[in-house]
Structure 1
């Protein structure tokens, strides 16, 4: 899921274009991009879309962002969008484990009501100081939680923090990534609102990738290609991963725990990363190699 393209639920004229895009995932939105007077309409539109066969056959990861747990729209949103083929329910503005448990219970009910056999995961948006402080507890609150996603606009703007200060963004990214890592879930990067600022988007996405994020949110189709490029393992990374795994296999045969690859001492954590790189490469059709 290198790229995740936001699609407003109230804009069905954009749906076909989104499915034709190169985005790995589509996130259909019922929250911020839908005005209060169109919530019901958007919910009905998304229910019809996600009940159809074509979205499931698209090969894309399907995500729906619902309104917050405290919202009057939440229960109806979940019941409408939880359909076969939905991979993740994106829960915004999460600040307590109780909200996570409530969302998990709502998913249980919606899956039973709608005949969904494959469990839908939770992607939690971390968009407040409290949410960031409690990020690990939120991620660990229920087995349905698959990942944490940053929402830097909601996090920074009320606190008058510069959204585009690289040092500040890096600090928050690292904090979220470590919380996600402790809980054993993925971390996903925030959207970048300046969609015409290609250099800024690529710089922030590159930072996220260096910190081990899974991919980056895109608010405009023009950002998708850049996210896919940056979160793609390079040929050099794939080749090194192949060398690390091959050396690990040889070392295991000799009963050696630590060894060198390309002049660097390597042991088990490096092998885990190398195998993950090769798995990603195979999934993207970028070549084969040792597993």
Structure 2
């Protein structure tokens, strides 16, 4: 088994794969990765044309050194047509919508494996982000997260809420976020999403509060449907100056304690042991807030 790469993207910004005006500026929006959407953003009548033009956009965006993800369609005929168009150099990952269970992901992995070999690409060099859009998928999360090509789990707030027959809100989406965060953390993957609608790009105070809650429950990033959301997401999932200062004090105190043979120390009136130190070291690897 070949282990996948493990990116740590905070913000992933969607754009329709056929909208040249939006795509031309996508790399300027500050997102850690971009998602070219062949699914919901493209009407059925326009999918063939979007596929025909997407290779050029993958190449162009990859030239700006920004990771390129493509959200493909879930129906098998459209899915195969999508893969045939996008499996090429410059593609970093695919977002697979409407994931139901591990069997579906394994099938896509097998198709990708064959295409990578046929096209001279690195085996499993293209990652998969599983988009969770149904309550029926939740029991399968640990198995899906353990599959070798998976690099992240993401919550599709709108479709999940539709399946639940409830409005997208903290009341309905907190538990799915927590389950995604736990399953992803168990495998060292990205957990992407927030306990709220993704469509809120005008009331950014409300959106920011939802992002803060997502970060507090262990999510590692979020999907963005508008450039105005990107900066808030990047800030929420970065280490603040105060957090970095605390982490530096912890690491310094721990180093001094180890030098005299101690396995514990204290910082700011609280005991520090190895798990606290590892959390501090992890904070210091995060982008600065």
Asked if TM exceeds 0.5, the reply is yes
Deviations 1:81-124 (A, max 9, x none): 12223221111111111111112112212222333237111111
Aligned to 2:99: 94
Aligned to 2:25: 17
Secondary structure of the structure 2 residue equivalent to 1:193: coil
Aligned to 2:117: 112
Residues 1:171 and 2:175 aligned together: yes
* Structure 2 unaligned regions, length at least 5: 1-8
* Structure 1 unaligned regions, length at least 5: 287-291
Aligned to 2:185: 181
- Structure 1 residue ranges, 4+ long, deviating more than 4 angstroms after superposition: none
C-alpha distance in structure 2 between counterparts of 1:15 and 1:38, whole Å: 16
Aligned to 2:52: 44
Deviations 1:209-247 (A, max 9, x none): 112222111101111122122222110011111112222
Q: What is the root-mean-square deviation in Å for CA atoms of aligned residues?
A: 1.8
Aligned to 1:289: none
Secondary structure of the structure 1 residue equivalent to 2:122: coil
Q: Aligned pair count? A: 278
- Residue 187 of structure 1, CA deviation: 0.6
Aligned partner (choices 203, 220, 239) of residue 214 of structure 1: 220
Structure 2 length as normaliser, TM-score? 0.90
- Residue 67 of structure 1, CA deviation: 0.8
Aligned partner (choices 19, 22, 35) of residue 27 of structure 1: 35
Moved more, 247-256 or 178-187: 247-256
- Residue 148 of structure 1, CA deviation: 0.4
Aligned to 1:131: 137
Aligned partner (choices 4, 20, 33) of residue 12 of structure 2: 4
Return the structure number with greater relative CO, CA threshold 8 A, min gap 6. Answer: 2
Structure 1 length as normaliser, TM-score? 0.89
- Residue 158 of structure 1, CA deviation: 2.8
Residues 1:276 and 2:279 aligned together: no
Maintained 8 Å contact 1:139/1:148? yes
